[in-house]
A = this chain, B = another copy of it.
Amino acid sequence: MTRDVPTDTDRLSALPRPQPRKKKLSREEKAQLTLRNLLEAAAAIVGEHGYAATTIANVTREAGVAHGTFYNYFEDRQALFDVLLPYVGERMTDYITASLAGVGGGLEREVARFRAYCGYLRVNPGFYRILYEAEVFAPKAFDAHIERLTEGYVRAFRRAIAAGDCYEMGDEELRAIAGILLGARAYVAMQFKDTGVIPETAIAAYESLMKQGLFKAK
């Protein structure tokens, strides 16, 4: 993990952060700030208490705006949910991408990716819940998230195959492998959600699986 990597709290792709220097915000800036506040409030609440506990009243209270203001920014509650995972999911992938800068290829890179994911979860424990509950409460966003990650994996493995680091595979197999790896990291994260820390043993097991499988050739 590099230290100058963005985290959930200091980076927000398109949205403006509060600018303490200027007191005067343009109308549009204020609106964007409100939107940002709503999203951050939602992320905090969903991350800690889950989607079901995330009422409009909770979100607006946390965001410091009036109840009705919510509906100036979102069609309805579902619209917020549909947007939340993309919002935090992009931060997660940016973090991982940044973490992988300069890391080699093949196995080393894949293990680094796994490790970066674990690191992200430790720093942003709310992300885990926003993600896994999305399968229930924002299934389209969840599917899109998975699809986005799957494509990333497929591209990465195509590169690894081209570099000769990795066994040959067709596209359908590659997608299956991407699913397997996503599931692997999700469930490993789940095993350690109490502690928040994924131990080196687990990472080693992952590495070993990637490198040689589990079963000896006969």
Contacts and interface: CB of A to CB of B under 8 A. Distances in A.
Assembly of this chain: how many copies?
4
A196 interface: no
A31 interface: no
Interface stretch (A16-24, A91-99, A210-218): A210-218
A146 to B, nearest CB: 7
Nearest to A199: B172
B213 A212 contact: yes
Given A185-B183, A211-B213, A213-B211, A170 B136 contact: no
A201 interface: yes
A50 interface: yes
A167 B208 CA distance: 10
Contact of A186 (B165, B181, B183, B217): B183
Interface residues of A, number: 54
A214 B167 contact: yes
Contact of A182 (B52, B136, B165, B187): B187
Contacts of A172: 199, 201-202
A184 interface: yes
A48 B107 CA distance: 40
Contact of A167 (B137, B176, B216): B216
A156 B160 CA distance: 33
B210 A214 contact: yes
Interface of A: 50-52, 106-107, 110, 132-133, 135-137, 146, 157, 160, 164-167, 169-170, 172-173, 175-177, 179-188, 190-191, 199, 201-202, 204-206, 208-218
